[in-house]
Amino acid sequence: MMIRIIAMLGCCLSAVLSAAQKKPSIILFIADDLNQQDVGCYGNKDVQTPNMDLLAAQGMRFTRAYAASPMCTPSRSAIFTGLYPFRNGCQMNHFTVRPGVPNLPDFLKSLGYRVVISGKIDVSPRDNFPFEVTGEEFGRYEPIENRIDRKKETVRMIREHFQSRPQQPICLIVAPWLPHVPWFPHKDFDPQKMKMPSYLADTKETRGALASYYQSIRAADKMLGEVLQAVDQAGQTNNTVLMLTADQGAQFPSAKWTVYDKGLRVPLVVRWPGHVPSGAVSDALVSLADLTPTFIDIGGGAPVDSLDGSSFKDVLVKNKKQHHAYIFAETSVEPHYWYNYTPARSVITADGWHYIKNYHPGERFITHIDKVERNEFYFDSWVEDARQNSHTKFLLNRYSYRPPEELFNVNRDREEFQNLADVPAFKDILKEKRALLKKELLKQGETDEMILEGPLPEFADKSYTIRQNKSASGLSFNKKLWNPDTLYIAAYLEGIDKGGVVCDYFNNFKLFAYAGKIGVLLADSSIWESASLPSGSGHLVLRLSAQGDLDIQFDHKMVLSRKLNKDLTKIKAGYVTCGKLQGKEAAGRLQSYQGKISDLRFIMNELSGNP
């Protein structure tokens, strides 16, 4: 009897392993800030990308693949969750997704995959994305010499996985900081002999920047070649789906950070021998939010109806010609204090129309490009050239200022130079696409009022407010100005019997009102709290000095006084929140606030200013 049971278990185990073997491994190579048009197989004659071109010759090249956001963190969050930015919670660069959002590692691990990321991660909170991590050295921003994975950790991961776990499929994300700025100095390109893209001003400085960008693309291509070779040497070519894409377009004006074509349209190439025909080209409209659903489908999982993206596996293996009727993309730009908040929402349709709604058209569009590029600074040459060159002036104004609405026929105007929104002949198309965007925003649950407000502090003289269930990044503050010797936090609280976290102040401390008590939780986990309070509602005033003297008043009475003996007043990396923790859910004192927080204000040095 025991022998029969063992035999049956052996058969079951064999069946499980056999099923796992049938699932293909998946490798996704994500280039960083790469325009579709800047790859050889997409028609660029100057940059050399032999490995990307080889991949296209052996697989399928998509001509209409778009990012959901033209910035690193929101785009990658959409890639790994299958949800558009508002739905996953990451709309501004360097923000987190909402707590508990399911994502690629969750989905594929449940299907038996080992899920690994090598290099740049750039999604958070990290514990919400349970990737196995390798290549941490080349995943750092600097030094740029590490970006080529000098220790060959990615190649070693591929080799060791197929040697040690031949029965288990792997999903490996290869994510170098290439060709993200700072670009490598150009040595293989002559700036004067290159063809200038029409969306860039033709100045000496821009040519030098373009040559360095191309040099970094070449480095990315070489790294892709190492990945291809490692898969081939492991004998796994025929059972590996290998994809190339980019998170968004290049860091040039009217590309990255914008929802113009150059910001959103990215390369997408897929090789899967025996399933995807060689040298195929697809014009199907796809979003990078489709990648996670496609991986689930390839791995044998059931469709996840709650996702915004959908699998394009049938485009790959059944030669399906169409995918989406339209896709959505957005920008909420960066939280840096020297940016202006200039959000935009857009839809791109399968029939070739691109509609954009700009929510603060009176604000100048400002990014890193204007003043703080890390190298190859060229923007001043545009400003100078615009004084006498009408095309450069057009490009400069197009980058810096946006009308309320834009409508482009991308089939005829790939550069998106001709805004048709005010042309009477296209008023019906404008109305139709405007309604389509409104329908999509309603579906996602985002209103115009939400977009106009954005995730930024509301500043006043030496103070700022954060609305309940909102947060702001430390990047939104000029720390030379916001450097309090004494910090005040004031609000009106209701429902402190249930309550929860009132605010997290840049991980320095968390202020809570819970179970009828008010207190602070410090980074070292020490807790200081009041006695039980008779009133469930009242005015709160916290005073904290740079010397660590803490006083808290509630309902006009002193309820807590302590000497913390450390400076917790300064703004640092992280977030300041109102009524929640950023990207996390907790219980008890740190649960999301269950009552109402009105007018939470952070005040520097004195409660009332001088008129």
- DSSP, residue by residue, 225-253: HHHHHHHHHTT-GGGEEEEEEESS--SST
Is pLDDT at 14 greater than 70 in this prediction?
Answer: no
CATH of the domain at 597: 2.60.120.200
The alpha carbon of 493 is separated from its chain's Cα centroid by a whole number of angstroms, namely 34
CATH code, domain with 410: 3.30.1120
Task: Let me know if residue 7 belongs to a domain.
Answer: no
Mean pLDDT of 583-594: 96
This prediction has a pTM of 0.94
Same domain (yes/no): 316, 400: no
Work out the mean pLDDT of the chain and round it to a whole number.
Answer: 94
Whether 101 and 23 share a structural domain: yes
Q: What is the pLDDT of residue 547?
A: 96
Query: What's the pLDDT at 8?
Result: 39
Same domain, 435 and 301: no
Residue at a domain's end among 294, 325, 356 = 325
Write the DSSP string, 372-421: --SS---HHHHHHHTTT-HHHHHHHHHHH---SEEEEETTT-TT-----T
Domain CATH for 61: 3.40.720.10
Q: What does the block give as tokens for 437?
A: 């965007």
How many domains would you assign to the chain?
A: 3
The rounded percent of the chain whose pLDDT value lies above 70 is 96
Neighbours of 344 (CB within 10 A): 25
Give residues with Cβ within 8 angstroms of 288, minimum separation 6.
65, 66, 67, 68, 75, 78, 79, 245, 247, 266, 268, 309
Residue 611 inside a domain? The answer is no
Whether residues 447 and 463 fall in one domain: no
What is the Cα–Cα distance from 538 to 149, expressed in whole angstroms? 56
Q: Which of 273, 298, 325 is the last residue of a domain?
A: 325
229 plus 314 within the same structural domain = yes
Query: Both 108 and 29 in a single domain?
Result: yes
Name the domain boundary from 266, 295, 325: 325
Return the pLDDT at 11: 41
- Asked if 145 and 172 sit in the same domain, the reply is yes
568 found inside a domain:
yes
CA nearest neighbour of 572 among 454, 470, 489, 477? 477
Q: Are residues 63 and 108 in the same domain?
A: yes
150 and 244 belong to one structural domain: yes
Residue 11 lies in a domain: no
Pair (21, 164) in one structural domain:
yes
pLDDT of 165-216, one tens digit each?
Answer: 999 999 999 999 999 999 999 999 999 999 999 999 999 999 999 999 999 9
Does residue 203 form part of some domain?
A: no
What lies within 8 Å, CB to CB, of 157 at 6+ separation is 116, 118, 134, 135, 172
Q: What is the pLDDT of residue 3?
A: 38
158 in the same domain as 263 = yes
Cα separation, 282 vs 286, whole angstroms = 10
Residue 397 is part of which domain span? 344-453
Q: What is residue 22's predicted lDDT score, i.e. its pLDDT?
A: 82
92 & 108 share domain: yes
pLDDT tens track for 232-243: 999 999 999 999
Whether residue 599 lies inside any domain: the answer is yes
Q: How far apart are CA 74 and CA 89, in angstroms?
A: 9
What's the pLDDT tens digit per position in 342-370?
999 999 999 999 999 999 999 999 999 98
User: Does 337 reside within a domain?
Assistant: no
Count the Cβ atoms, other than its own, within 10 Å of residue 316: 26
DSSP 29-65: EEESS--GGGSGGGT-SSS--HHHHHHHHHSEEESSE
- Tell me the sheet residues that pair with 494: 537, 596
> Domain for residue 336, yes or no?
no
